[in-house]
Structure 1
Amino acid sequence: MENLRYYQKEAVENIYEFFKSDKCKAKMYISTGLGKTLIIAVAIQTILKNNNASILILSSRSMLCKQIKAAVFQMIEYVNIATHVRELKEQKILITTYQDVIKNRLNFSRFDFMICDEAQFLKKESCLKLLNIEHIKALGVLQNLESSEDWFYDAECLYTYTTKDAVKDGYSGYITEREFIERFLIKLLDYQGYKNILREVSISNEPKSSMRADIVAEKDKKIVLEVKSYRNLYNSKIILNNALKQILQYKQIMLSNNLAEKISFVIVMPCEIDEDSQREIFDRFDVEIWDIRNLIYLCEENKELLQLLTSCIPYSTLEVEAKKPINIKVETNDITIDEETISYVEVFQEKLEKCRLGRLDNADKKYEIICTEIIKYLFDTEFFKISEQHKTDDEMFRMDLLCSLKGTTEFWKFLITFYHTKFVVFEYKNYSDYISQNLIYITEKYLFPVALRNVAFIISRKGFDSNAQKASLGCLKESGKLIISSDDNDLIKMIYMKENGEEPSDYLLDKVEQILMSVSK
């Protein structure tokens, strides 16, 4: 558990204490993207290490079951897992969907402990009729803090960690960057002779400070690295400036605490940054940038490392030329951050929290305005034209927001290339409950292949329910129309990414890839 974040450790410890207790039902809230799959896997490892228990793990989608299974295999070397009720024999672990256990009438009495992932889909009345789960020790892992009639509604809450908590603690919840650091960058630093390589190191003397450098290591002197992971070769100047502002904040704090003497500050960005920009930043701020060309240079004599880097990069590096990093200091100016520091995460999060659910007092209109502001902030440079409350020529359909695409970054190029779309539709729903399948069919009517309008985003407070998920997959399979769900948590995560120098559309690309990987014939 030493590599877990503090909240992940606390969640695992609470799960294990619940397993040892005489309580029968409990729940915890872990927002999507904050490592709930890892928490479940480590909890299973901890339980099996100390007990000869039989464990049932249920989720709403087979794709999530596969993710949990893969995580458990990483935690436990020798474990026999069943992934379907019909293949269950002597295995101690069954990881499957709610639909599977209902359809094949699973005997729950053979299990000691049950973990229900995405437990918000377990509605109270229907599940009590179909699932014999009243007399089993059951833990529900839910995404959002809410008052609903799910089966775990009256259960004791063991632990809560939401996107808002993650933002306060300095976590984005996006794992690609973490994987890049752990799979490649730490090995590169070790190969280059760095010692005492530490992850997520506090850069302040204040014990409760949430500002942490991704990596601190030592060679001739100490080096502080801030890592920004991207899914395309080129990124905008804005992204670079945001990453620079963040590491300059670290440097200011360390200077004020007399910690920055004889320390190198490096931004690691696995995309291409032009040499003029690198030189300007180094000359002015004494901050190095290691872009993809520099990373290739640093590991090109080690074939294993070079292959590892290539496997971590989602674009081809065949045409990328190796370049030595800029490490000669010419002139250093005082550290200044020209722009006033504004936390857009806090600004938009406060707006979303103050916007009440439903239509009373025009709350739906207020939510629409907030969402449009967020979309423009996140992707304004990606859109050529933006039309609010756009009507079709026959005035039969009115879309909250219609945008034409430039196709600069990987996600939007992906939509243009594979979904033959030039325009994307955004619909906002300020509902107090999950989005139902009816709204999917209504939104589908807005999409029209001849008009190059094949992709829609439905932005809501809580996302799709299980039937809406099935309906959106049905639209994709039957007509090739892509309808994507985004909720408040998704918006906050993307704002956090942009504010911290990351590309927010990478988050959407990851979401779409997960959808496509779950599609059956």
Structure 2
Amino acid sequence: MPRDRSASPVPPSPGQQATMRAFRAEELVAELFQQLGYRVQREEAISGARIDIVATKDERSVLVEVVSTSLSRNILNKLRADAARLQSVISIGDGKEAVIAVVAPLSPAAKEWSESQFHVSVWDIDMLLSKAAPFANLRKQFEDLTSLGSRRPAKADTDLGGDLIRELEDHIREKSTRTPSQYEDLCQRVFTYVFDPTLYGFKRQAHTSDGANRYDFICRIRSGNQFWDNLRADFRTKAVLFECKNYDEKITADQVYSTERYLFAGALRTVCFLISRLGPDDGCIRAAQGAMRESGKLILLLSNQDLIELIKLKSDDGGPEDFLDEKIWNFVISLPR
């Protein structure tokens, strides 16, 4: 049967649209560097690593990776991978700079955290638009491209996040203005706000069956999120325990020793988030390292400031999980022999 040439063309699939958008983003970033007076080479292989853009001007070489992920999904994972590739090249020779151009929505908190963690310059869409301002047509093309994937959190959601941040900041400044029960409630509200529905079934003031031990609250992990699935598999745990220490000063090793009693590999309960107003002292960190090294128990030490960062990163899909993943990774690689 003859093919009907009048039929409408098949629209590109979501995957094809994402690929087309990524290519377009790279083209626009390359054009921006050209407009800024750089000599641009695309898809350059340097020391075995393929770099999206190498821009050269005078004696300055800038290695650029372009991120264009729909709806900000997993942007921080992509930033980590690109930063590692850039750093491996830059460490080989001098006179090179690393830039990751994010042609997608990225919160200020995610930008600041990425630069501090990955040691590269992050050009978010605001910076790209600012640099493209003298080139009206190019700026318009950036605006058109980013509007396809832009997303803003609902106002009620951002209001709740702002309220939680203010409560945490007030608590940092004002020391013991909260009772232990009020601090537990605040911490639980933060984790519910940031990680619902992946973390669910929160239970306060939970006791072990013999009544001997009580932990502040516990929750279950819903499958389907890569970070939490990996945590559950890596540490053979069915739940996450939370201990909240409402102390005026940094917590000490004693708080780790008392918390460690609640964790048992045989009960599939091996992970605890130990939260405190100001975080741990050095002895507390060594005690948590000992629990990991000797028993395989993960006691992740978090402060009010860490909870604030989690809230700020909530608008970036995967941002809070990446923050915790980086904390756990840094903890693991720092373990003494």
The TM tier, using the shorter chain, reads 0.5 to 0.7
CA distance in 2, matches of 1:178, 1:217: 27
Change (3 A) 1:264 1:419: same
Kindly indicate whether the alpha-carbon contact (under 8 Å) linking 2:115 and 2:121 is maintained by their aligned counterparts in 1: no
**What displacement does 1:488 show?**
1.0
Matches within 5 A, 1:20-169: none
Q: Which amino acid aligns with 1:221?
A: N
213-222 vs 435-444, which moves further: 213-222
Does residue 423 of structure 1 match 2:242? no
Q: Quick one: which of 148, 153, 159 aligns to 1:287? A: 148
CA distance in 1, matches of 2:120, 2:132: 13
Q: Secondary structure of 2:266's match? A: helix
Kindly indicate whether the alpha-carbon contact (under 8 Å) linking 2:129 and 2:142 is maintained by their aligned counterparts in 1: no
Q: Quick one: which of 243, 253, 264 aligns to 2:143? A: 264
Q: Secondary structure of 1:408's match? A: coil
Q: Quick one: which of 435, 458, 464 aligns to 2:274? A: 458
Matches within 5 A, 1:385-404: 385-404=201-220
Matches within 5 A, 1:351-366: 351-355=167-171, 356-358=174-176, 362-366=178-182
Residue of structure 2 equivalent to 1:437: 253
Change (3 A) 1:177 1:394: same
Kindly indicate whether the alpha-carbon contact (under 8 Å) linking 2:200 and 2:222 is maintained by their aligned counterparts in 1: yes
**What displacement does 1:423 show?**
0.9
CA distance in 2, matches of 1:496, 1:371: 15
Q: Output one character per residue of 1:261-280: Cα deviation in whole Å (capped at 9) or x when no partner.
A: 6653445xxxxxxxxxxxxx
Does residue 170 of structure 1 match 2:108? yes
Kindly indicate whether the alpha-carbon contact (under 8 Å) linking 1:357 and 1:364 is maintained by their aligned counterparts in 2: no
Change (3 A) 1:263 1:213: closer
Residue of structure 1 equivalent to 2:37: none
CA distance in 2, matches of 1:424, 1:336: 30
CA distance in 2, matches of 1:513, 1:345: 26
**What displacement does 1:400 show?**
0.9
Q: Secondary structure of 1:507's match? A: helix
Does residue 221 of structure 1 match 2:140? no
Residue of structure 1 equivalent to 2:187: 371
Kindly indicate whether the alpha-carbon contact (under 8 Å) linking 2:109 and 2:313 is maintained by their aligned counterparts in 1: no
CA distance in 1, matches of 2:194, 2:282: 28
Q: Output one character per residue of 1:184-214: Cα deviation in whole Å (capped at 9) or x when no partner.
A: xxxxxxxxxxxxxxx3575xxxxxxxxx668
Q: Quick one: which of 488, 512, 519 aligns to 2:328? A: 512
Q: TM-score, normalised by structure 2?
A: 0.60
Q: Which amino acid aligns with 2:291?
A: C
Change (3 A) 1:178 1:395: closer
Change (3 A) 1:178 1:288: farther
Unmatched segments (≥5 aa) in structure 2: 1-86, 96-106
Q: Output one character per residue of 1:331-382: Cα deviation in whole Å (capped at 9) or x when no partner.
A: xxxx998754734443112112334423x6x532221111110010011211
Kindly indicate whether the alpha-carbon contact (under 8 Å) linking 1:344 and 1:499 is maintained by their aligned counterparts in 2: no
Kindly indicate whether the alpha-carbon contact (under 8 Å) linking 1:388 and 1:401 is maintained by their aligned counterparts in 2: yes
Kindly indicate whether the alpha-carbon contact (under 8 Å) linking 2:246 and 2:276 is maintained by their aligned counterparts in 1: yes
Change (3 A) 1:470 1:336: closer
Q: Quick one: which of 449, 461, 476 aligns to 2:265? A: 449
CA distance in 2, matches of 1:489, 1:519: 23
Kindly indicate whether the alpha-carbon contact (under 8 Å) linking 1:200 and 1:215 is maintained by their aligned counterparts in 2: no
Q: Which amino acid aligns with 2:175?
A: L
Change (3 A) 1:390 1:411: same
Q: Output one character per residue of 1:315-337: Cα deviation in whole Å (capped at 9) or x when no partner.
A: xxxxxxxxxxxxxxxxxxxx998
Q: Secondary structure of 2:275's match? A: strand
Does residue 479 of structure 1 match 2:292? no
Kindly indicate whether the alpha-carbon contact (under 8 Å) linking 1:201 and 1:216 is maintained by their aligned counterparts in 2: no
Q: Which amino acid aligns with 2:277?
A: R
Kindly indicate whether the alpha-carbon contact (under 8 Å) linking 1:456 and 1:482 is maintained by their aligned counterparts in 2: yes
**What displacement does 1:415 show?**
1.4
Q: Output one character per residue of 1:366-422: Cα deviation in whole Å (capped at 9) or x when no partner.
A: 211111100100112112422111111111111111111124323212211111111
Q: Which amino acid aligns with 2:108?
A: G
**In the comparison of the two structures, how many residue pairs are matched?**
235
Q: Secondary structure of 1:508's match? A: helix
Q: Quick one: which of 410, 413, 419 aligns to 2:226? A: 410
Change (3 A) 1:474 1:181: closer
**What displacement does 1:77 show?**
5.2
Q: Which amino acid aligns with 1:449?
A: A
CA distance in 2, matches of 1:400, 1:354: 22
Identity %: 26
CA distance in 2, matches of 1:377, 1:383: 10
Residue of structure 2 equivalent to 1:14: none
Unmatched segments (≥5 aa) in structure 1: 1-69, 79-168, 184-198, 203-211, 224-260, 268-285, 290-334
Kindly indicate whether the alpha-carbon contact (under 8 Å) linking 2:168 and 2:308 is maintained by their aligned counterparts in 1: no
Change (3 A) 1:407 1:215: farther
Q: Output one character per residue of 1:127-155: Cα deviation in whole Å (capped at 9) or x when no partner.
A: xxxxxxxxxxxxxxxxxxxxxxxxxxxxx
Q: TM-score, normalised by structure 1?
A: 0.40
Kindly indicate whether the alpha-carbon contact (under 8 Å) linking 1:410 and 1:506 is maintained by their aligned counterparts in 2: no
Change (3 A) 1:515 1:398: same
CA distance in 1, matches of 2:114, 2:264: 35
